Chain A
Amino acid sequence: MNTNQNWRLTTIGLAFIGFAILIFFQLSRIQFGPQAEYLRRQGDIYSGYWLTVYPARGHIFDRWGSLLAGNETVYQIGLDLAQVSDPEGIAYALNLVLGEDYDRVFALANQDVTDDIRYSIITDFVHYQKVEQLDALKKTLQSIGGEPENQPIKSLSGLTFSPHLTRSYPEADLGSNVIGFYSRNGEGYFGVEEKYHELLSGQPREIWVSEDPNQVKDLPNIPPGADLVLTIDREVQEMLEEVLDESVKRNGAEAGTIIVLNPKNGEILGLASSPRIDPNRYWEYGDLISGTTPYNRGVSKTYEPGSIFKILTMAAALDSKTVNPSTKFVDTGRIEVGGAEILNWNQAAWGEQDMVGCMQHSLNVCLAWVATQMGASTFYDYMSMFGIGHTTGIDMAGEVSGRLKVPGDSDWYSADLGTNSFGQGVSVTPVQMISAASALANGGKVMAPHILRSLINNGRQYNPPPQLIGTPISAETARTITQMLVVSLEDEASRALVPGYSLAGKTGTAEIPTPYGYNNWVTNTSFVGWGPADDPQFVVFIWLEKPSSSIWGSIVAAPVFSEVVQRLVVLMDIPPDDIRIQASKP
């Protein structure tokens, strides 16, 4: 090897060494230079992202498994500003397909990318069909390539569609008073959606998702929110809402409520209340339900029940042995209790009556006498045991308690005993009233009224057992009062009767209290009844507010009860009494 060759090799070697030093220097500069922190931060930004995984909200089913509340996919439409090449085209397309304001979208799309602004949200909760249109247009423009001349939309690059789930109610307004709604800001409102919000929504989790394929981790198994199976029967609910709407309209009533309850276990089979909203469009709530109107009258509105309350007074009197069905009372048409004079509904004297007659003719004077015979202490103890004045604890949001003044309260007077005995001066919610009446239909036992039948969590179905909340009267008293009410309905040839079925029940007509006293010409009409009398399988409560067709419960509410029961026995497969009794014989 000569000197010349050595020189060349040395030069090449030095060049390589110099190049290596330069590389090392540049690496060091990048690693430790002033821009190192910025580069590291950029690296962190693009190495992955934090993802908040919201579990799918639990479904709500009726008792037969029909979906009442589920989820569906909607999209957030946004802009990856670095990719936007045609802001005019994006604004034009979104105006055309979604009706978005052109100027607003253009301003968003025309922004410069900065460290803080890389992405802009244009709109959210867009239905997938609209997104499919936009996506198809975007792909068509991409496939053409370049930017077509003389076209209003040249490119939709930068337009992003991010899917997520939102609440959907396939039955629209069916049962909406019971279900409530789930808003887009992630809160449950009213009914079951509010009461069971925590269970339905599950636990969201924030996870780091690496963009580095070598660092990919499996997404944690985040269970969806719990599914709920309600006691509601969809067919019964639909029937109740149909009957309610029709009867409110027919009678010119201001509003109405119908509840059907199984007295044996406290399950609410249907609860219809007016007005109702479509929870898919909950933002129209203010247009339909204004002022102090409650979302669900069944649990959130109190009223003076009037004569349907007499069933509780009579049951208490029978149970305390104050009277029996054949106890005689001579009705003179008036009675004084605590200094207040009480008259019958027609201000007439009905002469000698037994207790069945008192109930049949709904005599205020007789019931006030019964209450005075019982004594205030016994009367109010029984009312309290029936749950009057207390919330029932039903599992729907917004329940109120009503008011039962009792001796010792500053605003209680001796006269209240007389008026309370026939449902005046006491306020109840519909669910309180039906719950109290269910004791008479269930051998004296009050089962906690409830709407949740089953809970499905982590793939397991849990069925909470029915809860007994009290036994205000004996089974014998319950049978006696039921029989009395059966006879009184039949003797009266009530409009509540249904051929083939023995039913017990009572009408109610309640004057409405105002700051200036009771209004005689505007009433609340109600009916509470149950059947079949020998083995009650349902209790039905009807309340029509301020009907204009008639002020009397026997004319307004009793026919509605009959209509409900006629259709209910079909839906519940309850044959007429003779067939049922024959079939039950061995």
Chain B
Amino acid sequence: MFKAAKRSLLQAYPNAPWRNQAQVIGVFAVGVVITALLASVYLAVSVKAANLGRETQEIQLEILDLQRKNANLETQLASLTSATRMRIRAEKLGFRQLTSFDLEYLPVPGYTAAGEAVLAPGPGPAIADFQQVPPELNQTLFDWLRQKIENPETFTGASNLFSLPQPESQPEP
């Protein structure tokens, strides 16, 4: 039965030469489709990476802009509350300079005077620096595949694809 089927198939090709052409075209078409698929995946990943890269650039510029705005606001606030301006405003509101003769001192048990400027925590363990943009955001598909092939132990699926690295230690409260 098997031999009969084989013979029938072998006879079919010489009888219909277009079958050979269809086979060649079919194989070529499959190749084209696979290539197109790969190209489109590559293109999609590249476009996504490019978009993220552009967004990153924009965010970086925005950070710089915000830092400059913060600096401006700090200086403006300090200027508006400068000693000279505060004194002028106080005088306009009818206040006058206090002298030692105007004061009456009262002992207040347990009162603690306001402390001096503490603008940051004291010396302690260093805060681990961490990368702001994870490598996943500027990796191409091939970069990612290469990394996974070179370090197969990291091949743990897509769940941690975009996980941000964590700081090694937390700052002291």
Residues of A within 8 A of B (CB): 56, 59, 61-67, 70-73, 128, 163, 165, 168, 170-172, 174, 212-219, 221, 227, 229, 234-235, 237-238, 453-454, 456, 458-463, 498, 500, 566-567, 569-570, 573, 575-576, 579, 582-583
Contact = CB atoms under 8 A, between A and B. Distances in A.
Contacts of A570: 98-100, 103
Given A170-B79, A214-B50, A461 B119 contact: yes
Contacts of A59: 74
B72 A64 contact: no
A238 B120 contact: no
Contacts of B4: none
B98 A72 contact: no
A65 B83 CA distance: 13
A72 B107 CA distance: 45
B100 A462 contact: no
A128 B76 CA distance: 13
A235 B105 contact: no
A221 B132 contact: yes
A498 B100 contact: yes
Contacts of B52: 213
B173 interface: no
B56 interface: yes
Interface string B45-84: 0100111111011001000010111011011111101111
Nearest to A65: B117
A254 to B, nearest CB: 25
Given A171-B83, A234-B83, A461 B100 contact: no
Contacts of B50: 213-214
Given A214-B53, A214-B140, A461-B118, A73 B105 contact: no
B138 A216 contact: yes
Contact of B68 (A73, A453, A454): A73
B105 A575 contact: yes
Contacts of A62: 117
Given A70-B71, A566-B100, A214 B138 contact: yes
B131 interface: yes
Contacts of B74: 59, 67, 70-71
B65 to A, nearest CB: 8
Q: Quick one: which of A128, A216, A456, A570 has the most chain B CB within 10 A? A: A216
Interface stretch (B30-38, B121-129, B145-153): B121-129
Contacts of B97: 567
A583 B54 CA distance: 67
B83 A235 contact: yes
A56 B71 contact: yes
B133 A218 contact: yes
Contacts of A212: 53
Contact of B132 (A218, A461, A462, A567): A218
5 contacts: A73-B69, A73-B71, A219-B60, A227-B119, A573-B113
A458 to B, nearest CB: 8
Contacts of A70: 71, 74-75, 78
Q: Which of A217, A458, A582 has the most CB of B within 10 A?
A: A217
B87 interface: yes
Contacts of B83: 66, 171, 174, 234-235, 237-238
Contact of B78 (A170, A460, A463): A170
B123 A462 contact: yes
B168 interface: no
Nearest to A216: B53
Contacts, number: 143
A215 B133 CA distance: 12
Shortest 7 CB-CB contacts between residues of A and residues of B? A213-B53, A65-B117, A170-B78, A67-B78, A216-B53, A218-B133, A170-B79
Given A214-B53, A218-B56, A566-B99, A71 B75 contact: yes
Contact of A460 (B57, B120, B132): B120
B166 to A, nearest CB: 16
A257 B100 CA distance: 24
Given A63-B116, A67-B74, A70-B74, 19 more contacts: A65-B117, A65-B119, A71-B71, A73-B69, A73-B72, A170-B78, A170-B79, A174-B82, A174-B83, A214-B50, A216-B56, A229-B119, A454-B119, A459-B127, A460-B122, A460-B123, A461-B122, A570-B98, A570-B99
A579 B105 contact: yes
Contacts of B105: 575-576, 579, 583
A213 B51 contact: yes
Contacts of B81: 66
A61 B84 contact: no
B89 to A, nearest CB: 14
Nearest to B137: A216
A230 to B, nearest CB: 10
Question: Which of B54, B74, B82: most chain A CB closer than 10 A?
Answer: B82
B119 A67 contact: no
B72 A214 contact: no
B117 A217 contact: no
Contacts of B117: 61-65, 229, 454
Specify which of B65, B81, B100, B132 lies most central, judged by the most chain A CB atoms within 10 Å of its CB: B100
Contacts of B60: 218-219
A216 B78 contact: no
Contact of A214 (B46, B103, B121, B129): B46
Nearest to B126: A458
Contacts of A498: 100
Nearest to A459: B120
B131 A66 contact: no
A562 to B, nearest CB: 11
Contacts of B122: 460-463
A63 B117 CA distance: 6
Interface string B146-173: 0000000000000000000000000100
Given A70-B71, A229-B117, A456-B120, A567 B53 contact: no
Contacts of B124: 460
A579 B68 CA distance: 50
A367 B78 CA distance: 51
Contacts of A63: 116-117
B49 A214 contact: yes
B71 A217 contact: no
B172 to A, nearest CB: 10
B121 A72 contact: no
Nearest to B80: A170
Given A66-B78, A170-B75, A170-B82, A215 B100 contact: no
Given A66-B78, A214-B140, A238-B83, A56 B131 contact: no
Nearest to A212: B53
A584 to B, nearest CB: 10
